Chain A
Amino acid sequence: MKADPRGVLTGSHYIDGDFACCEGALAAGCRFIAGYPITPSTEVVERFSRRAPMVDGALFIQMEDELAASITIQGAVWAGKKAMTVTSGPGFSLMMEHIGLAAMTETPCVFVDVQRGGPSTGLPTLPSQSDMMQARWGSHGDYEIIALSPNSPQETFDLCIDAFNLSEQYRVPVMFMMDECVGHMMERVIIPPADQIEITPRRYTKLPPGQYLPFKPSEDLVPEIFKAGDGYRLHVTGLTHDFRGYPVMTAEVQEQLVHRLVNKIRLNAPKIWRYEETGVEDADVVLVTYGITSRVAGEAIEVARQKGIKVGMLRLIVVWPFPEPRILELASRGKAMVVAEMNYGQVFFEVERSARGRAPVVLAGHGGGTVHNIDDIVTKIEEAHRCQS
């Protein structure tokens, strides 16, 4: 299905990542944002609140807190809208409750986290990538989500559409993991015509009321969805539920449900993984990175290559689910790994785990507040190279 042209601002724009995120959402068909202001994400909803009155069926509401924002969007989804909410670290912490609800009720929606330094109030105006594990594991219980990480305003626009598409395809909350730098950096963003934007429609059931079971999975483990008001008169609960949506407090139903919630992402992961490789084939050292850090890392690779070290880059675009087999494959071929990220080891541990001891894995991390110093990454590349040889 093609995008609805009424939400697509086709043309060439000089905008920041936050604005690009808003335009990406509108292009993806998002017509409902409930937000709560928090630096450095606020510009996303500021733009949406200006754009919504001019777009058919679009509505912005500023809620009383992030708890409200993150569940109001789910009410809107069950009434038929595509919806998202936008926040940063402290608000993301509050939203964990409803990321769990969305995972349990299989509500397609997008959570944008423009990451800033933490813990707690931390660095409101400065970047970090330290919410990556929170995005993966932050809510209680067992579940899987999808997380994407753009490295430019253009990619923010493009990936935001993908975030919505993936959330519809797998009926899963998608974490859109930006950071302060990408959010506030201004670059050219090309918005294509609507007929060049592919949109995944919501997977509504075609079965009539009475025959349709709201949580009975299809072949790909994802159930078809319904919306309130269509005459199905069904129940949706955050409790463990059977195919009918009815609460059932037994180990059997828990196993059947939670195993499926996890497997619908794990078994479909090969279709979801996305990464970009540059110069990896002949490399001795592979720099694994994502988001804004990938742009700094690119320069570090240039410097290291000038020093005679063959370095390639694996840039994660989809961070969760994590492409374990690819990391294992590269490690098995003896390539040392450096993981550059703005934290003290989150994706790093995932790379280390996936490498299964077959290659050295070195962290180029720091506490956030600014992007990496290029020399620091080069030093880590040299260290990894020494370990490798």
Chain B
Amino acid sequence: MSIVSELQKASLSPEPDFHPDKHPMDDFLRMDRMPHIWCSTCGIGVSVNCFAKALEKCGFPLDEVVVVSGIGCTGRVAGYVKVDSFHTTHGRAIPFATGLKLANPKLKVVVFSGDGDIIAIGGNHFINAARRNIDITVICINNFNYAMTGGQVAATTPTEAILSTAPFGNFEFPFNLPFLAESVGAVYVARWTSLHVYNQTNSMVEAMRKPGFSFIEIIAPCPTIFERQQKMGDGLDRLRWYCENSEIRNDAGTKNVDIRLRDKMVVGKFVDVERPTYLDAMNAHYKDRLGEKYKVYEG
């Protein structure tokens, strides 16, 4: 036996549960759907990886986890994760998730979708689900544009950014998502970039463990469209930019964390407060008003 093959054997043998042909994400991803559709150095895959790690850390049985997506690049997440997953209509992932959670409160329901889906076409559902404090986690990948359709201007596009339907630069005022989420009642609000993989993962753990409407905004590179249009380089250049220009300030106050195209960006965990969830509030209220007649709702 050659030294090389001996070494190889040794390198494969030390851990009894080591399976060289098994990928660590096998249990979590639908490997039969690979390769995925996302572009090289797109930030969505990073967040899916963080989400897998977060689920592992939380220790929830995967059979009880449900991922709901809307439409768009991030909307494809539901199709790749190996849990019960629903790819719904554009903007309506949150009300679908609301139905799932209310019908079976034992489910751990996570909405994974993009900024256009959640905040623009689905904005009304976002603000009302947060107001009701529906016990779901919303992970919003913000790449500042409608990427799936070729890079149109969005409700999150920073002023001045150039996109296919804003060829002379965007003149609209963009949403500040953490500020919006806090003002309508989200109990947990954080923002990270695709560079902040540990922070992102930890926030996902905290958000999923937290009862109530939790919201995480992930600023993600869209090198094929957004960064290219702004001449910001490729995905790696953008990660370097995040590294040099994002500032962790948990106490920044969401009002002050709006994003400008080339200014420093504030990230962090901005909100972590307590408020009864929709179902807890409903059960407490009806018990108070109706007494014995009320059948406590457990799904």
Contacts and interface: CB of A to CB of B under 8 A. Distances in A.
Contact of B99 (A74, A234, A235): A74
Interface string A62-106: 011101110111111111110100000000000001100100000
Nearest to B69: A237
Nearest to A67: B92
Given A76-B99, A79-B107, A246 B33 contact: yes
Interface residues of A, number: 45
Interface of A: 32, 34, 53-59, 61, 63-65, 67-69, 71-81, 83, 97-98, 101, 228-239, 246-247
Contact of B89 (A55, A76, A97, A230): A97
Contacts of A236: 85-87
Given A75-B98, A228-B66, 20 more contacts: A34-B95, A57-B298, A58-B295, A59-B103, A63-B95, A64-B128, A69-B95, A71-B89, A71-B95, A75-B86, A76-B100, A76-B102, A79-B299, A235-B30, A235-B78, A235-B79, A235-B84, A235-B85, A246-B30, A247-B79
Contact of A73 (B63, B91, B99): B99
Interface stretch (B112-120, B191-199, B286-294): B286-294
B97 interface: yes
A78 B128 contact: no
Contact of A75 (B85, B103, B127): B103
Contacts of A65: 124
Nearest to B84: A228
A263 to B, nearest CB: 24
B128 A63 contact: yes
Nearest to B121: A67
23 contacts: A53-B294, A53-B297, A57-B295, A59-B103, A64-B127, A69-B95, A71-B95, A75-B102, A79-B100, A80-B104, A97-B92, A98-B92, A101-B89, A228-B84, A228-B100, A229-B84, A229-B104, A235-B30, A235-B78, A236-B85, A237-B86, A238-B88, A238-B89
A71 B104 contact: no
B103 A81 contact: yes
A64 B184 CA distance: 14
Given A238-B87, A246-B33, A246-B79, A57 B299 contact: yes
B84 A32 contact: no
A98 B86 CA distance: 14
A234 B84 contact: yes
Interface of B: 30, 32-33, 62-64, 66, 68, 78-79, 82-89, 91-92, 95-104, 106-107, 124-125, 127-128, 286, 290, 293-295, 297-299
A387 to B, nearest CB: 47
A64 B89 contact: no
Majority SS at the chain A contact face: mixed
Contacts of B299: 57, 79
Contact of A79 (B89, B103, B290): B103
Contacts of A228: 66, 84, 86, 100, 104, 107
B294 A54 contact: yes
B99 A233 contact: no
User: Closest 8 CB pairs between A and B?
Assistant: A75-B99, A79-B103, A237-B87, A76-B103, A68-B95, A79-B104, A72-B99, A76-B99
A231 B63 contact: yes
Given A229-B66, A237-B78, A239-B87, A54 B295 contact: yes
A58 B297 CA distance: 7
Given A53-B286, A53-B294, A68-B128, A233 B92 contact: no
A55 to B, nearest CB: 7
Contact of B102 (A53, A59, A69): A59
B132 to A, nearest CB: 8
A63 B63 CA distance: 28
Given A72-B96, A101-B88, A228-B66, A233 B83 contact: yes
Contacts of B295: 53-58
A68 B124 contact: yes
Contacts of B30: 235, 246
Given A64-B124, A71-B96, A78 B286 contact: no
B204 to A, nearest CB: 19
A68 B89 CA distance: 11
Given A228-B66, A235-B78, A238-B87, A67 B95 contact: yes
A230 B87 contact: no
Nearest to B289: A53
A235 B69 CA distance: 11
Contact of A229 (B89, B91, B106, B125): B106
Contacts of B294: 53-54
Contacts of B128: 63-64, 68
A80 B62 contact: no
B104 A235 contact: no
Contacts of B104: 79-80, 228-229
Nearest to B127: A64
A237 B68 CA distance: 10
Contacts of B68: 75
Given A56-B295, A246-B79, A32 B99 contact: yes
A352 B141 CA distance: 53
A59 B98 contact: no
A75 B100 contact: yes
